[in-house]
Structure 1
Amino acid sequence: MTALAVVLGVEAVLVLGATALTIVQFATHGAQVEADGFAFVACLVIGFLWVGLAAVGVWLEKRWSRGLTIVWQIIQLVVGVGALQGLLAGPLEGAVLLTLGLAGIVLVLTPGVTRALRGNAA
């Protein structure tokens, strides 16, 4: 349980860092289309809130956190594959995203986590 909460916490920090770097990049270099820049930052903020809420839910052993975690890991795997192909970032970022995504899915499906998250409905 703790390992999954740590993985989600690391992911939340990484998304927060990506958000900050993106804001700095847009502030210094601008975006090709200003609305696209705002939309991208909004998506990063939503991602941070999503994974942060999942981390807190797992830490508190809330049943609803399992669905949030699985969806987040699938999104992360898709982005990681895109990064490996050079569509979104580089291969290093893609490898990190894929590693964290696979670790998160494996951890959330372990019997101990499944048992812990099944017993707490609220």
Structure 2
Amino acid sequence: MATLAVILSIEAVLVLGATALTIVQFAAHGARVEADGFAFVACLVIGFLWAGLAAVGVWLERRWARPLTVVWQLIQLVVGVGALEGLIAGPLEGVVLIALGLAGLVLVFTPPVTRALARVRG
């Protein structure tokens, strides 16, 4: 349980770092199309909030964290494959994203995590 929460926390911090780095790069060099730059940063912020909320939910063992975690890991796998293909980032980033995504997906379906996230809290 704690391993999944740690992975989600690391992912949230990485997305926050990517958001900050992207903002700095856009401020320094600008985006090809300004609206695209804002949209990309907005997507990163949404990703950070999503991963952060999933991490909080897993730390607190809340039922609603499971679907958030599954969807987040699937999105991360897709982004990782895109990075491997050179569409975004690079191969190293793609391998890291895919490894974290697969680890998160495997962990969310393990019996201890399933039991912990299935408990009804009142």
Moved over 6 A (4+): none
1:81-96 aligned within 5 A: 81-96=81-96
RMSD of aligned alpha carbons: 0.9
State the TM-score, normalized to the length of structure 1.
0.98
AA matched with 2:72: W
Deviation at 1:120, TM superposition (A): 2.6
Match of 1:36 in 2: 36
Q: Indicate conservation of the 8 Å contact 1:8/1:52, yes or no.
A: yes
State the TM-score, normalized to the length of structure 2.
0.98
**Is there any run of 5+ residues in structure 2 with no aligned partner, and where?**
none
> Deviation per CA, 1:40-78, whole angstroms, max 9, x where unpaired?
000000000000000000000000000000000000000
Identity across matched positions, percent: 79
**Is there any run of 5+ residues in structure 1 with no aligned partner, and where?**
none
Match of 2:99 in 1: 99
Task: Say how many residue pairs are matched.
Answer: 122
CA–CA distance in structure 2, aligned partners of residues 59 and 120 of structure 1: 15
Deviation at 1:121, TM superposition (A): 5.3
Match of 1:110 in 2: 110
